[in-house]
Amino acid sequence: MASILIVDDELSMREFLEILLANEGFEVSSAANGEEACSIIEKKKFDLVITDIRMDDVDGIDVLRKAKEVNSNTEVIIISAYATTNKAVEAMEGGAYDFIPKPFKVDEFKTIIREALHKKTISVDEIKEETIEGYHFGCLIGDSPEMKIVYDLIRRVAKTKTNILISSESGTGKELVAKAIHGESQRMDKPFVVINCAGIPETLIESELFGYKKGAFTGAGTDKVGLFEAADKGTVFFDEIGELSPAIQVKLLRVIQEKTFTRIGETGERKVDVRFISATNKNLEKEVIEGRFREDLFFRINVINIPIPPLRERKADLTLLARHFLQKYSKESGKDIKKMSTYALDILSRYSFPGNVRELENIIERSVALETSNIVLPQSLTLSNFKKNKAMEDRRHTDIGPQGIELDEIMAKIEKDYILKAMEIAHGSKQKAAELLGLSGRSMRYRMEKLGL
Q: Which CATH number fits domain 159-307: 3.40.1160.10, 3.40.50.150, 3.40.50.300, 3.30.70.100?
A: 3.40.50.300
Summarised one tens digit per residue, pLDDT across range 4-41 is 999 998 898 899 999 999 998 899 999 999 999 999 99
Give the pLDDT score at 395.
Answer: 37
Summarised one tens digit per residue, pLDDT across range 311-346 is 999 999 998 999 999 999 999 999 888 778 766 787
Give the pLDDT score at 390.
Answer: 41
Alpha carbon 390 to its chain centroid, in Å, reads 27
What's the chain's average pLDDT?
83
Residues 141-166, mean pLDDT to the nearest whole number: 91
Least reliable range by pLDDT among 27-41, 72-86, 115-129, 265-279:
115-129
What does the DSSP 8-state code read for residue 234? S
CATH topology of domain 401-450: Arc Repressor Mutant, subunit A (1.10.10)
Summarised one tens digit per residue, pLDDT across range 259-298 is 898 888 888 889 999 999 999 999 999 999 999 999 999 9
Summarised one tens digit per residue, pLDDT across range 244-259 is 999 899 999 999 998 8
- Architecture, CATH, for domain 314-386: Orthogonal Bundle (1.10)
Alpha carbon 25 to its chain centroid, in Å, reads 21
Cα–Cα distance for residue pair 315/334, rounded to 1 Å: 29
User: pTM of the predicted model, to two decimals?
Assistant: 0.55
Cα–Cα distance for residue pair 29/7, rounded to 1 Å: 9
CATH topology of domain 3-121: Rossmann fold (3.40.50)
pLDDT at 426 over 80: no
pLDDT at 366 over 80: yes
pLDDT at 431 over 90: no
Q: Report domain extents, the chain.
A: 3-121, 159-307, 314-386, 401-450
Give the pLDDT score at 402.
Answer: 62
Cα–Cα distance for residue pair 297/253, rounded to 1 Å: 6
Same-fold call for 3-121 versus 159-307: yes
Summarised one tens digit per residue, pLDDT across range 407-423 is 777 788 788 888 888 88
